[in-house]
């Protein structure tokens, strides 16, 4: 390593005896998370959302370029515009664009082009990835691993929301250009995920298919 400007790392270590209990507690906390599509129309505390976004933007990113932007949408008319535009794309997806294999893969989830949950849920967090940034003189600065970085930040956000007591759905209509237009985002950004956030409705369910988990020995190996 070459010498660079640096500060001591204030790392918080735990006795080995505590580590497994901590790992287990975090696992138990996140294991109860599920995507839902039935939201209550109850508002969510904005300060909680903002703190969860702070967790997201603490994620690692390529060359620490932080190639992301998070739009918190709570305005009912903006959500409604997004719902209508999303449903137009989803109708094209379900009726024309999706292959039969893709539709078959989705069948156990029961999804369709109805995205009324966008109206009902109190909040969307629309996450944008920036393929490049803007320098002081308006020049483009390429961002490295923007997709991976925003994916990691989104994982942090989903975990933070769940830990705070909020449910969410990763909604990815395709294409998502309409989100840039409705939310007035610049050309260096593309919508990455529309995260629908709120509380589950009382009758909210989780498809049995979502409970299926591959065996650890099939998805993990040691060498």
Interacting residue ranges for ligand IYR, rule: CB under 6 A: 90, 93, 106, 109, 111, 171-173
SS3 68: strand
* Residue 34 or 65 having the CB closest to ligand IYR: 34
Least Å distance, CB 115 to ligand IYR, is 7
* Residue 39 or 93 having the CB closest to ligand IYR: 93
Residue 216 backbone phi and psi in degrees, to 5: -55, -40
CA distance 45 to 23: 28
| Cis peptide, bond prior to residue 184, ω within 30 of zero | no
Least Å distance, CB 80 to ligand IYR, is 17
Are residues 212 and 129 in contact, defined by beta-carbon separation less than 8 angstroms?
no
Least Å distance, CB 109 to ligand IYR, is 6
For ligand IYR, the nearest residue by Cβ is: 111
Least Å distance, CB 96 to ligand IYR, is 13
* Residue 67 or 128 having the CB closest to ligand IYR: 128
* Residue 14 or 102 having the CB closest to ligand IYR: 102
Are residues 198 and 123 in contact, defined by beta-carbon separation less than 8 angstroms?
yes
* Distance of alpha carbon 26 from the chain centroid: 19
* Residue 173 or 198 having the CB closest to ligand IYR: 173
* Distance of alpha carbon 211 from the chain centroid: 19
CA distance 204 to 200: 6
Least Å distance, CB 57 to ligand IYR, is 25
Instruction: Identify the H or E element spanning 22.
Output: helix 16-31
């Amino acid at each position: 390593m070459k010498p660079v400007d640096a500060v001591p790392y204030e790392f918080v270590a735990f006795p080995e005896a505590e580590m497994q209990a901590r790992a287990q507690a975090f696992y138990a906390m996140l294991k109860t998370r599920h995507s839902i599509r039935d939201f209550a129309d109850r508002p969510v505390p904005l300060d909680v959302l903002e703190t969860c976004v702070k967790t997201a933007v603490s994620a690692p990113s390529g060359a620490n370029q932080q190639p992301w932007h998070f739009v918190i949408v709570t305005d009912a008319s903006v959500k409604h515009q997004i719902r209508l535009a999303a449903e137009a794309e989803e109708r094209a997806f379900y009726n024309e664009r999706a292959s039969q294999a893709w539709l078959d893969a989705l069948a156990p989830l029961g999804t369709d082009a109805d995205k009324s949950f966008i109206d009902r849920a109190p909040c969307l967090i629309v996450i944008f990835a920036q393929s490049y940034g803007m320098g002081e003189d308006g020049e483009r600065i390429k961002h490295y691993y923007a997709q991976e970085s925003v994916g990691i930040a989104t994982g942090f956000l989903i975990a933070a929301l769940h830990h705070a007591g909020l449910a969410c759905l990763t909604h990815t209509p395709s294409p998502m250009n309409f989100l840039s237009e409705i939310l007035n985002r610049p050309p260096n950004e593309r919508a990455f995920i529309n995260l629908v956030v709120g509380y589950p409705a009382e009758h909210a369910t989780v498809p049995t298919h979502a409970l299926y988990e591959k065996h650890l020995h099939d998805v993990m190996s040691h060498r």
